[in-house]
Amino acid sequence: MPDRDVLLQVEHLRKVYESATGDVEAIGDVSFTMDAGELLCVVGPSGCGKTTLLKCLAGLLRPTSGRVEMHGAPVTGPSPAMAVVFQEYGRSLYPWLTVRGNVELPLRHKRLSSAARGKLVADALDAVGLGHAARSHPWQLSGGMQQRVAIARAVAYQPEVLIMDEPFAAVDAQTRADLEDLVRELHTSRNMSIVFVTHDIDESIYLGERVLVLSRSPTWVQEDLTVDLPPGRDQINTRALPRFTQLRTHVYDQIQRAKRGQAVAP
Amino acid sequence: MSTRTVAVTARTVPGTGRARRRRGVGRRVVGGFLYSLGLPFLLLVLWGVLSTSSTNRFFPGPVAIAESFIDTWVGAAFVEDVLPSLYRLALGILASIVLGVAAGTLIGLFGWLRELLEPLLEFFRAIPPPVLIPVVMLLLGITDTMKVVVIVSGALWPVLLNTIDGVRAIDSVMSETAESFQVTWWERLWFLVLPSASPRIMAGVRQSLSVALILMVISEMFASSAGLGYRIAYFQRNYLIAEMWSGILLLGLVGVLLAVTFGVVERRVLRWYHGIREVNRA
């Protein structure tokens, strides 16, 4: 699509963990591009190196070979254009800081007036529906609310792309549906580019405009699927669409094949 | 200790009925105070009653000790002996904490520094500080500095070693979070490393306090002419038994004062820590 900017470009990414007991090839050969303003979901069987891929994207891990480019410039370390939401919200938020303190922390080194900083924090907390909890501590909140704080922290950082690593794996089903709608809301109303890593097939189709299905380790992209569902989604109607069921069955089959190792690398 | 933390953390949970809860806390604190003083009072009475029939001159009754306590410590001796001792104690504790936390943080953060210093630290830690007194005396003379150095030479270790462990044990996800948001080194130190290590640091400080008190007394027992330790040793040598006991009583009170002050500071610094434990217990 020439009318959209390419945001992220991943070329022949490979990651090998070296250890005394032998090398482990986590990622074999992954290539894909992502446009600005896209919501891209990444699914794969468990242990397929999803988190490794995400850490390479975020500049937290150096790939063994291949490259990650953002707007054509190689990513060599953490960048202000990216913000990560980790799966373990309990270990990612700092319990000694208040909710506001947590959201504000990454903004401290950005040269902002305190008024501008305060506005960003308040705006981000409002966006996740936690404006009232700014003075609480994270451990006084429920799991879902804590993950909202982590999302607010990433939103306030004003990244070009939000990278989410199985962010809702540890919350209950109802909270999860609410948080999924929050992510859709951030994507549509703020036009945020989001890479969403998950092991949940339904979630990937409900959220994504594109789904990357990964093979089992050593990983490659087994399928790059466009989700042709209407952009306005809601938990009841979207999930009841025949197309939703078709896509889910398709991705499910792909994952089963990936698990059995039946799919053949290109 | 445990009843105290419960009383405090209950207050940190926000919500309705805060005023009522605070009044409840007030009552509990007063109640706890009376409760904790009950046993000492009972023992004092028992001691008083039993000692009326005693003729042993090395163990005077509580009334005699109380009288000599007032005669000995209230007045000039307080300014000449007690205050300088407390001053050196405070200085020694403060220096131990500052040095221990600063050095411990650096050693904890940098692996190569740790490997370099570990054998040396083990060696110095194993030396009982009192044996250093003659050496330090030769180097620094019989000065306040020498006494503070002796206090620090013992009280430093619990803070230092606990800080090293606390800094090393920082959660990997918390570090990755700071890294991914490009939090600067100083911000990381102030908002991640030190708070995360603070429970361990406070545990070290608690141990240091008692070590510091012991060393304060010992540092004054050698070649000294003033101070609490000197006075107690002087009374011992001159068979001023009631006065000696009153000095020991004063030392105990200083220890209690230290513990109470520590408790207040600890509750402020580690409010989040006790809060989490409270939530997890519920």
Mark out the alpha helices in A32-80 (DSSP H runs): 50-57
How near does any CA of chain A get to the CA of B39, in Å?
37
**Per DSSP, which regions of chain B are E strands?**
none
CA quadruple A19, A49, A90, A99: dihedral sign: positive
**Which residue of chain B is at minimal alpha-carbon distance from A87?**
B173
pLDDT at position A3: 47
Q: In angstroms, what CA-CA distances link A199 with A33, A82, A163, A230?
A: 21, 22, 15, 23
- Residue B96 is predicted with a pLDDT of 97
With beta carbons less than 8 A apart as the criterion, state whether A263 and A222 touch: yes
> H or E stretch including A21?
none
pLDDT at A263: 67
Angle between helical axes of B241-269 and B194-221 (0-180°, round to 10): 170
Tokens of A153: 């922290």
- Note the pLDDT tens digit of each residue in A129-147: 999 999 999 999 999 999 9
Report the percentage of chain A scoring pLDDT > 90.
59
**A92 close contact with B: CB closer than 8 A:** yes
Residue A96 and residue B198: Cβ atoms within 8 Å? yes
Interface check B187 vs A, CB under 8 A: yes
Going by pLDDT thresholds of 50, 70 and 90, the confidence category of residue A4 is: low
Comparing CB atoms, the residue among A82, A95, A108 nearest residue B187 is A108
SS (H, E, C) A192-235: CEEEEECCCHHHHHHHCCEEEEECCCCEEEEEEEECCCCCCCCC
Closest A-chain CA to B10:
A140
Residues of B in contact with A151 (CB under 8 A): none
8-state DSSP, A209: S
B272/A95 CB distance under 8 A: yes
Interval B145-158 mean pLDDT: 92
Locus of tokens 């919200």: A89
% of chain B surpassing 90 pLDDT: 49
Q: Which of A56, A76, A94 to mutate to test the interface with B (most CBs of B within 10 A)?
A: A94
A263 vs B125 pLDDT, higher one = B125
pLDDT band at B26 (very low <50, low <70, confident <90, very high): confident
Query: Which tokens go with B223?
Result: 């070649």
A143, burial (CB in 10 Å: exposed 0-12, middle 13-18, buried 19+)? middle
For A59, nearest residue in chain B (alpha carbons):
B180
Chain B positions in Cβ-Cβ contact with residue A105 (cut-off 8 Å): 181, 183, 187, 191
A1: pLDDT strictly greater than 50? no
Query: Is the separation of the CB atoms in A91 and B174 below 8 Å?
Result: yes
The whole-chain average pLDDT of chain A stands at 90
Give the mean pLDDT of B85-111. 95
Instruction: Evaluate if residue B238 carries a pLDDT over 80.
Output: yes
- Using CA atoms, how far apart are residues A76 and B178, in angstroms rounded to an integer? 17
Rg of chain A's alpha carbons, rounded to an integer?
18
The residue whose two tokens read 């904490």 is B97
Which own/partner contact pairs does B27-31 have at CB distance under 8 Å and 24+ positions apart? none
Taking 70 as the threshold, does the pLDDT of residue B8 lie above it?
Answer: no
B171 touches chain A (CB under 8 A): yes
Kindly state whether B198 is in contact with chain A, defined as any CB-CB distance less than 8 angstroms: yes
- Contact criterion met (CB < 8 Å) for B181 and A135: no
Closest CA–CA distance from residue A59 to any residue of chain B (Å): 8
Whose tokens are 């820590």? That residue is B273
Q: Does B195 have pLDDT greater than 90? A: yes
Q: Which helix (H) or strand (E) holds A69?
A: strand A65-70
pLDDT in tens, A26-71: 888 999 999 999 999 999 888 788 888 999 999 999 999 999 999 8
List of residues 6+ apart from B197 with CB closer than 8 A: B105, B108, B163, B166, B167, B169, B170
**Does residue A208 surpass a pLDDT of 70?**
yes
The three-class DSSP label of residue A197 is strand
Give the residue-averaged pLDDT of B149-168: 94
pLDDT at A153: 96
The pLDDT value given to residue A19: 83
Asked if A113 and A107 count as a contact pair (C-beta separation under 8 A), the reply is no
Alpha carbon distances (Å) from A235 to A91, A171, B60:
29, 17, 83
- The pLDDT score that the predictor gives to residue B54 is 75
Cβ contact, residue pair B192, A94, below 8 Å: yes
Q: Residue B180 and residue A78: Cβ atoms within 8 Å?
A: yes
Contact between chains at B180 and A58 (C-beta distance less than 8 A): yes
Cα-based distances in Å from A34 to A31, A37, B83 = 10, 9, 71
- Measured CA distances, B142 to B29, B131, B220 (Å): 45, 15, 10
pLDDT for the residue numbered A194: 95
Closest CA to A197 of A36, A7, A43: A43
DSSP classification of residue B184: -
Average model confidence (pLDDT) across chain B: 86
The pLDDT-based confidence of B140 (bands split at 50, 70, 90) is confident
Q: How far does A158 lie from chain B, in Å, by closest CA?
A: 11
Residue of B nearest to A60 (CA): B180
ipTM over 0.90: no
Q: Is the peptide bond before A106 cis (omega within 30 degrees of 0)?
A: no
* B25 vs B274, more confident: B274
A61 at interface of B, judged by CB pairs closer than 8 A: no
